Chain A
Amino acid sequence: MSKKTFRESINEAIKQEMRRDENVIVLGEDVAGGAGTKGDQDAWGGPMAVTKGLAPEFGRERVIDTPITESAIIGTAAGAALTGLRPIADLMFVDFMGVCFDQIFNQAGKFRYMFGGKAVTPLTIRTMYGGGLRAASQHSQCLYPIFTHIPGLKVVIPSNPYDAKGLFVQAVRDDDPVVFFEHKMMYDDEGEVPDELYTIPFGEANFTREGKDVALISMGRTVNLCNQVADEVKKDNISCSVLDLRTLSPLDEDSILEAVDETGRVIIVDESSPRCNVATDISALISDKAFSSLKAPIKMITPPHTPVPFSPALEDLYLPSADNIKKTISNILN
């Protein structure tokens, strides 16, 4: 066990899986960087340096710099997965799903069902999501609800370095197509991460805080916001549980219902756009299955229904905040 960043945790998971299984390959735009140049042949390791060091160790046959060609990247990975490799495709920003979504949801996500259960598509798509980097409307979205909507895909969204490694290893070994969401503001977050390989099963949410007054349910980066708020409101004698969903598909319904049962008050914090997102989905689930356990209306904290703004002044207003969560806690308790 040693302290590692979110970035290092994923990098280590990829390297260790590539050492363990020669069918694991990585492909995407500048996953090494420098292809065809006279300069550094490991120039980038992706824009956030997550895949740095892979090309020198595994060679360009297994760490493939592609052109900027998202449909071909994802489709190539899907076809390779269908025929015996275990590819990790890098969809740099999830916002770029717009130029390759067919290959994800009509092809990779449906092979198994359409082909009557005969296909196995062990594909992992890594992608960055989320606001905070002042990256504006086309590089800051969450979009995970759209993937969660598709039967046949699995959606993973870790909140910390420990989970990132365990969930990533599971994603690579999983025989279904997995979309792995990495919040672009979390790469420098640190945590204790074992050096050895381990997996965290999908569909098992994690209570990061125990509490009896209010349940905060969240995913990815906003879990940390919830943890922070839960710790802060303790001094006011308010006890919050925090449930980290870890995976959106499969979804751990039992833990959600347990959180409702223990508190009767639920706040769902979701950084994705508010219509048809994870918060509305969980809210519907609770209304359907645990209505009688509720002591207050379900509250959803999300951004407004706008594109992600560029200006720091506006983006800070746009994103869910600790203040907003605190205010909502005090509203539903009174």
Chain B
Amino acid sequence: MQLNREELIKAYQGMCRIREFEDAVHEEFASGALPGFVHLYAGEEASAMGICLNLNDQDTIASTHRGHGHCIAKGCDSKGMMKELFGKKDGICGGKGGSMHIADLTKGMLGANGIVGGGPPLTCGAALTFKTKKTGNVAVCFLGDGASNQGTTAESINMASILKLPAIFVVEDNGYAEATSSDYSVGGNIVDRGKAYGLHAEKVDGTDFFAVHQAAKEAVERAKNNEGPTLLHVKLSRVYGHYEGDAITYRLDEETKDIKDNKDPIKIFKRKVTESGLLEESQLEEIEKSIKKEIEEAVSESKEAKYPVESDLLTDVYVKY
């Protein structure tokens, strides 16, 4: 563990912020307050934070339908995000995008994505910009085990490989693509797929923030040293279903219990840092409390916030038409 106190605190704050956000969305959705559909990231926090703490605002990420965690980890404003989920005018995308299209280009967050496998080609594009302009930045793509089976992913890792792009593909394998197991749907294995295209590829324990952080750190260094793209197969679990409202009948109760008891990255992080004396329990509880308050405010402010109006319907289609 080479992280300093400040970084550890940042990591814990981020993971707690994601969890609180998702738990709040879970509740608000169940109560009928939220329109549309949402896919929650709870349980996967170590991946988003472990990766994004290695990035700056000019580095980019492309995300997925399960994108709230990535957005928060990359620095998107949690209140703006919550307002967006409520479809409010002050939402981070003016209420026009919703859960699956949260983006903040000033933070290098190129968008959650409603299309499975939509992000990998875009990541090559951002990486090509960095390579062409010699900015020294890196483009990261989060995708799931489901997207690992999409043709766009194969095309993109090949493109990144042959053009030696500063790109990192983070395959978050939570075990299920919708209601289908990744044991069933992934032929061969994901690391081998990366290696087959000439990428540096490795499997990472996604319940362990420190493992993800270290793998990402090395991947970013490789990208910046012009050593080409990396694929990380991050094995983790989602606490909730594919989407809110999913009864999760495909997953046995004991597996869900095991996820909550033994695979919770926040609990694991907390245990590690307190046992090793890096941070104190009371300090972590302070963080938990202040994040809880922040998210409660986000929800109440979102409920109070105004909806967009009719004139907003027609704007933002084109720069000029």
A residues whose Cβ falls under 8 Å from a Cβ of B:
25, 61-62, 64, 66-67, 69, 71-72, 74-85, 87, 99, 102-103, 106-107, 110-120, 151-152, 154, 174-176, 203, 250
In the assembly, what is the distance between CA of A119 and CA of B106, in Å? 10
- The answer on a CB contact under 8 Å between B93 and A79 is no
| 0 or 1 for each of B106-122: is its CB under 8 Å from A? (1 = yes) | 00001101110010111
The one of A84, A112, A154 that contacts B133, using a Cβ cutoff of 8 Å: A84
Q: How far is the CB of A251 from chain B (nearest CB, A)?
A: 10
Contact between A75 and B121, CB atoms less than 8 A apart = yes
Q: Are B120 and A75 in contact (CB under 8 A)?
A: yes
Number of A-B contacts (CB under 8 A): 155
Interface residues as binary, B263-287 with A (CB distance below 8 Å gives 1, 0 otherwise): 0000000000000000000000000
Query: How far is B123's CA from A80's CA once the two chains are assembled, in angstroms?
Result: 8
* Partner pick for B103 among A103, A106, A115, CB 8 A cutoff: A115
- Report the nearest B residue to A74, measured CB to CB: B121
Count residues of chain B with CB under 8 A from any CB of chain A.
48
**B124 adjacent to A72 (CB under 8 Å):** yes
A76 to B128, CA, bound (A): 7
Whether the Cβ atoms of B124 and A75 lie closer than 8 Å is yes
Chain B residues contacting A111 (CB-CB under 8 Å) are: 103, 111
Residues from chain B with a CB closer than 8 A to the CB of A114 are 93, 96-97, 101, 103, 111
* In the bound complex, CA of A175 to CA of B95 (Å): 23
Neighbour of B319 across the interface among A25, A64, A175, CB < 8 A = A175
Q: Using Cβ atoms and an 8 Å threshold, which residues of chain B touch A25?
A: 128, 132
B75 within 8 A of A: no
Classify the secondary structure of B's interface with A: mixed
- Name B120-179 residues within 8 Å CB distance of A: 120-130, 132-133, 139, 151-152, 155-156, 158-159, 162-163
Q: Could you tell me the distance in whole angstroms from the C-beta of B256 to the nearest C-beta in chain A?
A: 33
Query: Which residues of the other chain, A, contact B114 by a CB distance below 8 angstroms?
Result: 106
Q: In the bound complex, do residue A112 and residue B126 qualify as a contact, i.e. CB atoms below 8 Å apart?
A: no
For B315, list chain A residues within 8 Å (CB).
117
Question: Roughly how many angstroms separate A114 CA and B137 CA in the complex, as a whole number?
Answer: 25
Q: A25-B132, A115-B93, A115-B105 are in contact. Are A72 and B159 (CB under 8 A)?
A: yes
A–B pairs, 10, beta carbons within 8 Å: A72-B155, A79-B110, A83-B129, A83-B130, A102-B115, A102-B118, A103-B122, A111-B103, A117-B94, A154-B318
- Known contacts A69-B158, A72-B155, A82-B110; is A106 also within 8 Å of B133 by CB? no
Minimal beta-carbon separation of A110 from chain B (angstroms) = 8
Q: Which of A81, A85, A118, A152 contacts B317 (CB 8 A)?
A: A152
The closest CB in chain B to the CB of A75 belongs to B121
User: Are B152 and A83 interface neighbours, CB within 8 A?
Assistant: no
Name the B residues within 8 Å of A110 (CB-CB). Answer: 101
From B127, B155, B163, B319, residue with most partner A Cβ within 10 Å: B155
Q: Evaluate contact between A118 and B318: CB separation under 8 angstroms.
A: no
CB atoms of A80 and B93 under 8 A apart? no
Q: Is B184 an interface residue (CB 8 A)?
A: no
Query: A66-B159, A67-B158 given as contacts; is B152 within 8 A of A116 (CB)?
Result: no
A97 to chain B, nearest CB (A): 14
Which residue of chain B has its CB nearest to the CB of A152?
B317
CB neighbours (8 Å) of A120 from chain B are 319
Query: Are A116 and B122 touching (Cβ within 8 A)?
Result: no
Residue of B nearest to A118 (CB): B105
Residue contact A75 to B125, C-beta cutoff 8 Å: yes
Q: Please measure, in the bound complex, the distance between the C-alpha atom of A84 and the C-alpha atom of B114, giving whole angstroms.
A: 23
B132 touches A67 (CB 8 A): no
User: Cβ of B125 and Cβ of A80 under 8 Å apart?
Assistant: yes
- Say if the beta carbon of B73 comes within 8 Å of chain A: no
Q: B287-299, CB under 8 A of A: which get 1 and which 0? A: 0000000000000
Give chain B residues whose Cβ lies under 8 Å from the Cβ of A106.
114-115, 118
CB distance from A148 to the nearest CB of B (A): 13
Instruction: Please indicate the chain A residues that have their CB under 8 angstroms from the CB of B317 in the complex.
Output: 112-113, 151-152
Q: Is A118 within 8 A of B162, CB to CB?
A: no
Pair B121/A117 contact, Cβ less than 8 Å = no
CA of A113 to CA of B318, assembled, Å: 8
User: Do the beta carbons of A107 and B133 come within 8 Å of each other?
Assistant: no
A173 to B105, CA, bound (A): 21
- With A74-B121, A116-B93, A116-B97 already in contact, 5 other A-B pairs whose C-beta atoms are closer than 8 Å: A69-B159, A72-B124, A79-B62, A115-B97, A115-B103
